Structure 1
Amino acid sequence: MGGKRRSYDAPFREGAVRIVMETGKPAAEVARDLGVHEGTLQTWVHRAKARADAEAAGGLNESEREELRRLREENKQLRKENSEIGMERDVLKRSVVLWVKEATK
């Protein structure tokens, strides 16, 4: 059905994208010259353009998006823990009130 899937290191991908973007050659031609599938190179170019557009628009880069995701998850966990602690506190307050009422009878 299909052959073994090849992987390319980051410097190779970046170099291939730079060739397409800086020379203006079609991605299909550059892909043939480098021995890369045309769709693969077009995907790399599309992602690079999207990153460049996001950075130009003041958006977040990949590491910032990952940190934001991690912080949101941490915030969600802390809110959950805070809610649980609040419920425990309320139960303890009610227990103390009942205990005091019972002790003063």
Structure 2
Amino acid sequence: MASERAKYTEEYRVEAADYAISTGRPVIEVAREIGVEPKTLGNWVGRRRRELADPGAEAAARAGDAELKAARRRIRELEAENEFLKKASAYFARGQGL
């Protein structure tokens, strides 16, 4: 017979994860103390840590990557334009006898 999975409310999961994080003890110890599987509590703790981290950090990093990519593209365009202008100025300078 298959064992029935325990159902935990979201509030309980958050409280358990916060407790595990705040104590600083190993997840396995806290899991034994509160009667939850260590892997389950570990998942809750990982999710809670991601939630507590700056929620906009990942979006900001992606925006920063896009900005960096655009800046590099603009640099390539300006370098190509600079090369063209160097060649054009050399061509016209030859024509004027400089």
The TM tier, using the shorter chain, reads 0.5 to 0.7
Q: Return closer, same or farther for 1:69/1:61 CA change in 2, 3 Å cut-off.
A: same
How well do the aligned residues superpose, as a CA RMSD in angstroms?
3.1
Which whole-Å CA distance do the structure 2 matches of 1:52 and 1:21 have between them?
7
Query: Quick one: higher RCO (CA 8 Å, sep 6+), 1 or 2?
Result: 2
SS in 2 for 1:68: helix
Letter in 1 for 2:68: N
If the length of structure 1 is used for normalisation, what is the TM-score? 0.50
| 2:65 matches 1:72 | yes
- Further displaced range: 16-25 or 72-81: 16-25
| 2:43 matches 1:50 | no
Which whole-Å CA distance do the structure 1 matches of 2:47 and 2:67 have between them?
26
Deviations 1:55-96 (A, max 9, x none): 89xxx5331011011011111111111111111011011100
Unaligned runs of 5+ in 1: 1-15, 27-41
Candidates 20, 27, 34, aligned match of 2:13 = 20
If the length of structure 2 is used for normalisation, what is the TM-score? 0.52
Unaligned runs of 5+ in 2: 1-8, 17-33
Greater C-alpha radius of gyration = 2
Dislocated runs of 4+, deviation >6 Å: none
